[in-house]
Chain A
Amino acid sequence: MKNSLYIVIVGCGRLGSHLANQLSRVGHSVVVIDKDETTFNELSPGFSGFRIEGDATQMGVLKEAKLMRADVVFATTHEDNVNLMAAQVARKIFNVPHVLARVFDPRREQVYDQLGIETICPTSVASEMFLLAVASGRAAQGDATT
């Protein structure tokens, strides 16, 4: 892998801006897309990437972000369907090698696994961690009583 990657982040909310700030800080070229310009205020003063105000479900906007040259695309808007569409277009139309979409609804996850789109479901991840915490807590309790 190259040292500096070209990374496009769709959605500049809490997750998107956090990722953008961190990735830009460690030297990657980052482009963020959001249809609401005010979200760019979340970017840190040190953010050296580009900002594009636009709707990521429109081809023109994705072309402007030069998706054909991207190494990585993260779709992190608060709308599952926008993320799923942007991720599919990135993967299958622009052949971006590494694409990840955030999907809130765990039911949608399976279908997109089937389509070869990698998704991260915060609900599933969080619930696994909670369950794990409970399980290990019980184990610890068990240890204490024996």
Chain B
Amino acid sequence: MKVLIVGSGKTLYFLCRNFTAKGYTVVIINRSREECVQLARRLSATVVCGDGSDAVILKEAGAMGADVVLAITPNDQDNLVICQLAALKFGVPRAIALANDPENAEIFEKLGVSAFSTTHIVGSLIEQRASLEQIINLLPVGEGRVNVTEIILDADSPAAGKLMKDLVLPENALVAVVMRDQRPIVPRGGNQLLAGDRLVLITLPENHGAVLKAFTGDGK
């Protein structure tokens, strides 16, 4: 797989190290000549010095044959344009942009560019890991756009004792499985939730906090 990454800093460095270790062909585009020299010394990647939103530089970096373009510069406008050029001018099948402003993640998707927000991802991870002891497991799937979370219902959960159909959940959320006495149940409206149940929830990063609140209460 050939990956083209436009960006700078430690995120770029460690991502590249990770990708080259997996055997991917990595090409980096970076604006700073000094950083390019450092990167070329420390990584087994091709380094191109220049503006990644310039079609000439993208071409020089071999955008034409890239499988993935990843735009992770600190400027959202650059990330958007890099991905649009990669997709439209060079036919790159997958172009992914970092949205530094979390609100731009949605905007980029509406403009036809795959996007992710580290603020969203890290923020929800911290909320989940640090504040909720009921959570056993968390698995982001679908490029981090969907969370699979396993929680235990304790006795003071607002959902304990309720029928599934009486639960008020935000849109785009699902109780996928209820584990009770080692037995998995795929719940329907008529199933009752009990304290001690282990639930597997499907949520989105946007509604994750609100969904968890429906099961764990406001306290935490």
B176 contacts A by Cβ under 8 Å: no
Chain B residues with CB under 8 Å of A59's CB are 101, 103-104, 107
Q: How many residues belonging to B are interface residues under a CB distance threshold of 8 Å?
A: 20
**Which listed residue, B53, B55, B56, B77, touches A57 by the CB 8 Å rule?**
B77
* Closest Cβ–Cβ distance, residue A118 to chain B (whole Å): 16
Chain B residues with CB under 8 Å of A107's CB are 54-56
Q: Interface majority SS on A: helix, strand, loop or mixed?
A: helix
In the bound assembly, the distance between CA atoms of A115 and B83 in angstroms comes to 13
Given contact pairs A89-B107, A108-B55, A81 touches B88 in the complex (Cβ within 8 A): no
* Closest Cβ–Cβ distance, residue A116 to chain B (whole Å): 11
A82 contacts B by Cβ under 8 Å: yes
A85 contacts B by Cβ under 8 Å: yes
Number of residue pairs A-B, CB distance < 8 angstroms:
57
The answer to whether B84 touches A58 (Cβ under 8 A) is no
The chain B residue sitting closest to A111, CB to CB, is B88
Q: How many residues belonging to A are interface residues under a CB distance threshold of 8 Å?
A: 22
For chain A residues 17-58, which have a beta carbon within 8 Å of chain B? 57-58
The answer to whether B54 touches A81 (Cβ under 8 A) is no
**Which listed residue, B78, B85, B88, B111, touches A88 by the CB 8 Å rule?**
B111
Chain B residues with CB under 8 Å of A81's CB are 53, 75, 77-78, 80-81
In the bound assembly, the distance between CA atoms of A93 and B103 in angstroms comes to 13
In the bound assembly, the distance between CA atoms of A86 and B84 in angstroms comes to 14
A97 contacts B by Cβ under 8 Å: no
A137 contacts B by Cβ under 8 Å: no
Chain B residues with CB under 8 Å of A115's CB are 84, 88
Chain B residues with CB under 8 Å of A86's CB are 77
For chain A residues 71-87, which have a beta carbon within 8 Å of chain B? 79-82, 84-86
The answer to whether B103 touches A84 (Cβ under 8 A) is no
B10 contacts A by Cβ under 8 Å: no
* Closest Cβ–Cβ distance, residue A124 to chain B (whole Å): 15
The chain B residue sitting closest to A82, CB to CB, is B77
**Which listed residue, B53, B56, B101, touches A58 by the CB 8 Å rule?**
B101
Render A100-114 as a binary contact track against B, CB cut-off 8 A, 1 for contact.
000001011011001
B129 contacts A by Cβ under 8 Å: no
- 10 CB contacts below 8 A, A to B, read A57-B75, A57-B76, A58-B103, A59-B103, A79-B77, A80-B81, A81-B80, A82-B77, A85-B76, A110-B89
